[in-house]
Amino acid sequence: SQQGEEDPQALSIQEGENATMNCSYKTSINNLQWYRQNSGRGLVHLILIRSNEREKHSGRLRVTLDTSKKSSSLLITASRAADTASYFCATDGWSTGNQFYFGTGTSLTVIP
């Protein structure tokens, strides 16, 4: 399987704390994308980081990418109860026969 893996599988934090999720992947990439999924709903794209970028910010989100280690991390700062969701990384289809590959996801619970 070319799926990536996310770590941790589940994370529970207090509101206001920071949440960090890690993703490892197996293929070369053109970009890596992070998505959020509220329970049972469709995934929503959060942020895209290109292979030549090392860090990217969007609001309270900070993504880093280390292509030498084939890993990425997503940091959510000052978390809110509304951030409770599952978070997935995905590699784009540029080098994988036009298929996107998703990680197994991190389930984040933010306790008010």
Partner 1 sequence: EAQVTQNPRYLITVTGKKLTVTCSQNMNHEYMSWYRQDPGLGLRQIYYSMNVEVTDKGDVPEGYKVSRKEKRNFPLILESPSPNQTSLYFCASSLSVNSPLHFGNGTRLTVT
Query: Which residues contact partner 1 (rule: CB under 8 A)?
Result: 1-3, 30-31, 33, 35, 40-45, 48, 88, 90, 92-94, 97-105
| Residue with Cβ nearer partner 1 (15 or 96) | 96
Alpha carbon distance 32, 92 (integer Å): 6
The tokens of 75 are what? 């940091």
Residue 14 beta carbon to partner 1: minimum distance, rounded to whole angstroms: 27
| Residue with Cβ nearer partner 1 (90 or 108) | 90
Count of CB atoms situated within 10 Å of the CB of 52:
9
Strands (E), 17-68: 19-24, 31-37, 44-50, 55-58, 61-66
| Residue with Cβ nearer partner 1 (29 or 78) | 29
Residue 35 beta carbon to partner 1: minimum distance, rounded to whole angstroms: 8
